[in-house]
Amino acid sequence: MTRDLKAAVSAILQGYGAGQQPVTDTSAELHRLCGCLELLLQFDQKEQKSFLRPRKDYWDFLCAALWQQRGDTEPVRFVHSLDKLKTPLGKGRAFIRFCLAHGQLAESLQLCLLNPEFTREWYGPRSPLVCPELREDILDSLYALNGMTFDLDLLHPTRPLPLALGGPLVRPVLPSKAGST
């Protein structure tokens, strides 16, 4: 899983680095990166339920962890301002895209992972997020993206992919992603 993330980051650095064009919504590499991040953030996530609320997702972890470290943050405020986002999955995707566009993804995730005990409350032992060496590899890979330009439509973060880029008719859907965003 971390190898897939590193490969996705490498593809972006090779395809869009050294002053080349910005990464845009139509980039297959962007969609691969976001998919890898989403899978990583969902992998071995513990069941977090609350009364009369749906199952909590990685978005809830990000919010709780960031609140614990910094209180209210710009990425979280931005996502909350998007009224059309109804599910945690859609909000998590918008968070990732906002952070990429503003060069804040690695720092935001690092803040979320500062408290290992809190991370272990949300993730099981198989998650790369609880292993210090794998966590460091993940963050190093994401920090490499800080120099990249991401020109993304942040107001429509859940727009479907074109079919040629693995859109809904050809992209496999994991069971946990079956709901709408």
Digit-coded pLDDT (tens) for 82-134: 888 888 889 999 999 999 999 999 999 999 999 999 999 999 999 999 999 99
- Give the count of domains, the chain: 1
Q: Express each pLDDT in 17-50 by its tens digit.
A: 877 899 999 999 999 999 999 999 999 999 876 6
- C-alpha span between 3 and 88 (Å, rounded): 26
* CATH code: domain of residue 104: 1.20.58.900
Task: Name the pLDDT band for 4 (thresholds 50, 70, 90).
Answer: very high
In-domain check, residue 32: yes
What does the buried/exposed string (b/e) look like for 163-174 if buried means 16 or more CB atoms within 10 Å of the residue's CB?
A: eebeeeeeeeee
Poorest-pLDDT segment among 25-29, 55-59, 138-142: 55-59
123 assigned to some structural domain = yes
Nearest 5 degrees, angle CA 108-CA 111-CA 112? 90
Q: Is residue 174 part of a domain?
A: no
Q: How confident is the model at residue 172 (pLDDT cuts 50, 70, 90)?
A: very low
Domain that holds residue 85: 7-151
User: Is 168 among the domain residues?
Assistant: no
- Residue 180 covered by a domain: no
Instruction: Calculate the alpha carbon distances from 69 to 81, 85, 106, 143, 153 in Å.
Output: 21, 24, 15, 19, 28
By the 10 Å C-beta count (0-12 exposed, 13-18 middle, 19+ buried), 3 is classed as exposed
Q: Is residue 175 one of the residues assigned to a domain? A: no
Alpha carbons 43 and 175: distance in angstroms, whole number = 13
- Mapped onto helix, strand or coil, the DSSP state of residue 151 is strand
For residue 143, being part of any structural domain is answered with: yes
Q: How far apart are CA 69 and CA 111, in angstroms?
A: 6
Asked, for residue 117, whether it belongs to a domain, the answer is yes
